[in-house]
Chain A
Amino acid sequence: QKEVEQNSGPLSVPEGAIASLNCTYSDRGSQSFFWYRQYSGKSPELIMFIYSNGDKEDGRFTAQLNKASQYVSLLIRDSQPSDSATYLCAVFDRGDSSYKLIFGSGTRLLVRP
């Protein structure tokens, strides 16, 4: 059973700080990783995806991937109260006859004004 693990939080940071969200996965063969943001009562929206080891930056967001250690993280710089949401880590799983995303349980982020 392939698994994606996240700390449920809440992770509380002050406005302007860096928020660091972490995710580990069980399948060493996984190749593609995604971060989604979900506001309460809404559906998830894609923030970033990363395929290669190292860092990938997009605005205030940086995704970090370390395949050897099987973890992927998301850094949010200059955190804003509007960033308060649940962040879902997802790993692409290509099975024998289908493919799907396996989601972690999500980390709730609270940015204090």
Chain B
Amino acid sequence: GAVVSQHPSWVICKSGTSVKIECRSLDFQATTMFWYRQFPKQSLMLMATSNEGSKATYEQGVEKDKFLINHASLTLSTLTVTSAHPEDSSFYICSARDPDSSYEQYFGPGTRLTVT
């Protein structure tokens, strides 16, 4: 099956700093990747859709200048949380769609961000 990796798996940073999270599709080329955020005991919230070679599409209420997304290749998308604050502490999960297998999305293992 399709494999998606994320790095790092967890990160602790100080308030005001920026953090970059990588999402890679390991055995397929993903023209589209998705970034989600999940707070404890809540469901997944789609933040943005990342399209290779073009600008990301952000969901309503998500600050695009704070959550920078870059999808420079068919196997890599990055999410940078700029000027992180404690309220940004969350579980960030990416997923990728394999265009050869219909509509399924394959999820990465997630990155737990803690901002102190």
A contact residues vs B (CB 8 Å cutoff): 32, 34, 36, 41-46, 49, 88, 92, 97-101, 103-106
Instruction: Say whether A100 contacts B107, CB under 8 Å.
Output: no
Q: With A43-B93, A44-B44, A88-B43 given, is the CB distance from A101 to B107 under 8 Å? A: no
Other A-B pairs, 14, CB within 8 Å; known A45-B107, A98-B51, A103-B46:
A41-B91, A43-B107, A43-B108, A43-B109, A44-B93, A44-B107, A46-B106, A49-B103, A88-B43, A98-B49, A98-B57, A99-B103, A101-B34, A104-B43
Give min CB distance, A40 to chain B, whole Å. 9
Residue on B with the closest CB to A6?
B43
- List the A side residues contacting B34 at CB < 8 Å: 100-101
- List the A side residues contacting B109 at CB < 8 Å: 42-43
Of B32, B103, B110, which contacts A43 at CB under 8 A?
Answer: B110
- List the B side residues contacting A32 at CB < 8 Å: 102-103
Cα(A96)–Cα(B51), bound, Å: 15
Q: Which residue among B42, B44, B93, B106 has the maximum number of chain A CB atoms within 10 Å of its CB? A: B44
Instruction: Say whether A49 contacts B57, CB under 8 Å.
Output: no
Residue on B with the closest CB to A45?
B107
The answer to whether the Cβ of B63 comes within 8 Å of any Cβ in the partner chain is: no
Cα(A34)–Cα(B103), bound, Å: 9
Cα(A36)–Cα(B44), bound, Å: 11
- List the A side residues contacting B104 at CB < 8 Å: 34, 46, 49
Cα(A80)–Cα(B32), bound, Å: 35
The answer to whether the Cβ of B82 comes within 8 Å of any Cβ in the partner chain is: no
- List the B side residues contacting A101 at CB < 8 Å: 34, 46, 103, 105
Of B32, B43, B49, which contacts A103 at CB under 8 A?
Answer: B43
Q: With A34-B104, A43-B109 given, is the CB distance from A105 to B46 under 8 Å? A: no
Cα(A43)–Cα(B44), bound, Å: 10
Interface readout for B69-113 with A: 1 if CB under 8 Å, 0 if not?
000000000000000000000010100000000111111111010
Instruction: Say whether B57 contacts A42, CB under 8 Å.
Output: no
